[in-house]
Structure 1
Amino acid sequence: MTAPLLEVRDLGYTYRRDPALENVSFTVDRGQNLGIVGESGAGKTTLLRLLLGLTRPTTGGIDTDGVPFDAGDRAALRRHRTFAQAVFQDPYSSLDPRQNVGRIVSEPLRSLHLSTTGSETRTRVASALEAVGLPADAAERYPHEFSGGQRQRIAIARAIVPRPQLLVADEPVSALDLSTRVRIVELLSSLSIGGLTVVVVSHDLGTVAALCERTLVLERGRVVEQGPTAALLAAPEHPYTRKLLAAVPRLPRR
């Protein structure tokens, strides 16, 4: 039997005696996108940091492709950087304005020693830019020359250039206008069709519904409900999930 791409087992994290996460368990199969939703303070950011190896769990563990991952092991952490990459919320602050796009996108190749020649680096950067819908000559330009949506595409290109198996997206469209949000969600969906598995951390149920086959609901650091997205949104079982759905703005009927 094939191991899940990602398995989280009884994960917990305590901050100054206050539990931020308790007994969080779930699996992510290869090619099956997962949405993690909840209000502010639900524990989404803490869980993201644990998935990326930025923080070590207090209890429980994480397996990647059936192998236990220890963020305290430097060699394991380096391998994890090629397994999982992140895209963050704000496309303005996540890009260094002093570096051109080519330098920004190629940063993971340098830090992870994944490229041996300048020619190979340029080829991989051009391929990543093409994958997110940007021309190769964008590499010579600077972040301030691009719109918010284009900057988020640059951030996604940087995340996919090391060819990770998992992309963790933290509120990837919340800083964008509505039409740009739709295009970025479509981009993430096309990348997942191409073989990348995406975990989306969001409070936006619309984004999760459009992109993720499964959804996990966090309340105060605990999983209160999880399952297929369509079924969970159509017939939520937990009162907290129903509360989240009731809070989604709807146009008035005429």
Structure 2
Amino acid sequence: MSTDPLLALDRATVRYRGSTAPALSDASLEVPAGGRLAIVGESGAGKSTILRLLLGIEAPTTGAVRYAGQALARRDRARMRAFRRDVQCVFQDPRASLDPRRRVGATVAEPLVSLGLARGAEVRARVGRALARVGLPEDAARRFPHEFSGGQRQRIAIARAIVARPRVLLADEPVSALDVTTRVTIVDLLQELLQGEEMALVMVSHDLGVVAELCRESIVLERGRIVERGATSTVLAAPRHPYTRALVEAVPRLPPT
């Protein structure tokens, strides 16, 4: 049985043309089966760069992205097809990530159809099951995104991400565009979906409360460098790096009663 992590960065550095400093510098991380990893930092810290690498959208300038123990080769169509099936993403704003002109069923079915994983009645059945898992009725498939609330649209985005039964779910600030009450329901949904599953979660976030709820391990980024990593409970309760301490201290707290 392989002990390789499902998804990993191996000393990855990203430099963009015209920039004096790297967007990401010598970053390494591992995502095991069933792992729950948070990537934490302020805007510009390099979180989105890591996400693009893990999605295979970009390649590092130096270093490597590894999937199932092998370097990700974007020219290897068969391996990239397997990678696209096994690594799915939920984006920050469902209004931007859902095509308003497509019915929900077609949107959720997109990974199945584009990757050739199912056809005809099987597609419809799997879409129905995915919608049911996120708490939406099957008839939602016939409607358009604008007919749903923000929280429901994010449920649709999650259904699209899980319909192909991925091994890794990437989440890019999945609740930051939602109101407080809706955030709680989406966090609860993600908890429920991950319960007892081997599906790993990698979440990019600046919301330490959500990180504490969903992720066992955390990595803290500052200006493209990993400055701290460890169990989320330890990183948040006893941060070692000054940057991490500043992030934790900036979290609003209710005054004592």
Task: Report the TM-score when normalising by structure 2.
Answer: 0.95
Which runs of no fewer than 5 residues in structure 2 stay unpaired?
A: none
**Within 2, Cα distance between the matches of 1:12 and 1:77?**
21
Q: In the TM superposition, what are the counterparts of 1:86-235 in structure 2 within 5 Å?
A: 86-115=89-118, 117-195=119-197, 196-235=199-238
Match of 2:15 in 1: 14
Judge conservation of contact 1:55–1:71 (CA < 8 Å) in 2.
Answer: no
1:193-231 deviation per Cα after TM superposition (whole angstroms, max 9, x unaligned): 142211100111111100000000000001000000001
For 1:221, give the aligned amino acid. G
Given candidates 37, 41, 45, the residue that maps to 1:42 is 45
What is the aligned length?
Answer: 253
Deviates more, 1:170-179 or 1:57-66: 57-66
Please state how far the C-alpha of 1:252 moved relative to its aligned partner. Answer: 1.8
| Amino acid of the structure 2 residue aligned with 1:12 | T
CA distance in 2, matches of 1:132, 1:67: 33
Identify if the C-alpha distance between structure 1 residues 128 and 194 changes in structure 2 by more than 3 Å, giving closer, same or farther.
farther
Query: 2 CA distance for matches of 1:33 and 1:194?
Result: 12
Unaligned runs of 5+ in 1: none
Residue 3 of structure 2 aligns to which amino acid in structure 1? Answer: T
Partner Cα separation in structure 2 for residue 77 and residue 181 of structure 1? 33
Alpha carbons 2:24, 2:49 under 8 Å: kept = yes
Structure 2 letter corresponding to 1:186: D
Please report the TM-score for the alignment, with normalisation by the length of structure 1. 0.96
The equivalent residue for 1:248 is: 251
- Cα RMSD, aligned residues only: 1.2
Q: Deviations over 1:51-94 (max 9, x none)?
A: 00000111111222222212343333222111101110001111
2:6 maps to what in 1?
Answer: 5
1:114 offset after TM fit, Å? 0.8
CA contact (8 A) 2:7 2:54 kept: no
